Every structure is written in C-alpha cells, then in structure tokens.
Amino acid sequence: MKNNCIFCAIAAGEIPSFKVYEDELVLAYLDINPFTVGHTLVIPKAHSEALLDTDDATLAAVIARVKKVAAHLKAALPCDGFNILQNNGEAAGQTVKHLHFHIVPRSGTEPIVFESRPGDMQELAALAARVKMA
C-alpha cells in the first residue's frame, strides 16, 4: 500500500471499491460506511493530505468532478439535495489523511446527522451500477 494510504490503494486498484466515476486525475466511489444512501467520496488519485497542501490545479480538477458527480447522484437517486463535506485534520474529523470530499445525498424528511453505519455490500454494488458514469 503506497504511503500506507488506504485511498491511494483504492485509487491504484489494490483495494476494491464501488466506483461511480473515474478519469486520469480523480476517482469517485461509494462510501462503504455511508451517512445516507449514495454517500460518495471524491478523491484525487495523486496523494495529498489535506486542502492546504493540495496544488490549485488538482484542487480545481477535484471540485469540478465533485460538481459533476453530485449532479449525477441527484439525478439518479430520490434525493432533494446534498451536503458536500471536506474535513482537514484530526480535530476536524479527518480520519484518512488523503484529500477527499464527501457528497451526502439528502431528502427533505431526513434529519441532518453525520454518523456512518456499515453499508450492505450487495446494495452498494447495485447502487454503484445505477449511478456509475461513463
């Protein structure tokens, strides 16, 4: 595992994921411990730890893909909106030291609670197939 970084290993294909988008710079995949159905992580393939040590070109590429994936999730899921989360440092709740954005789909009836729970792997695979972008 490169740099002992689980997200680098996922980006390299060393650890399986439920991909919904991928290009040469960015990968988006379903979180296996989702806050809500469709909770997706968007990461740069190149390692950077957090927002402040990510070069501007990479950050621009990632946020453009966050927008693209969020629009696709909103169209594919029964959701009224979504949260975009990005944590920096342990004090802010960052548990993996690799820049990543969370897209958390929301419906009008759900309370806003950020608590992960184990996801059903078969449901995640089916959802990834529905949401996957060419």
Please report, for the chain, the start and end positions of each structural domain, with discontinuous segments joined by +. 2-131
Is 100 annotated in the active site? yes
- The pLDDT, as a whole number, for residue 2 is 61
What parts of the chain have a pLDDT lower than 50? Answer: none
Query: For tokens 């806050």, what's the residue?
Result: 35
The active-site residue out of 39, 98, 100, 102 is: 100
What span, in angstroms and rounded, lies between the C-alpha atoms of 40 and 125? 13
Read off the amino acid at residue 101. Answer: F
- The pLDDT, as a whole number, for residue 120 is 85
- The pLDDT, as a whole number, for residue 127 is 81
- Tell me the CATH number for domain 2-131: 3.30.428.10
- The pLDDT, as a whole number, for residue 133 is 65
- The pLDDT, as a whole number, for residue 38 is 93
- The pLDDT, as a whole number, for residue 73 is 93
pTM, rounded to two decimals: 0.84
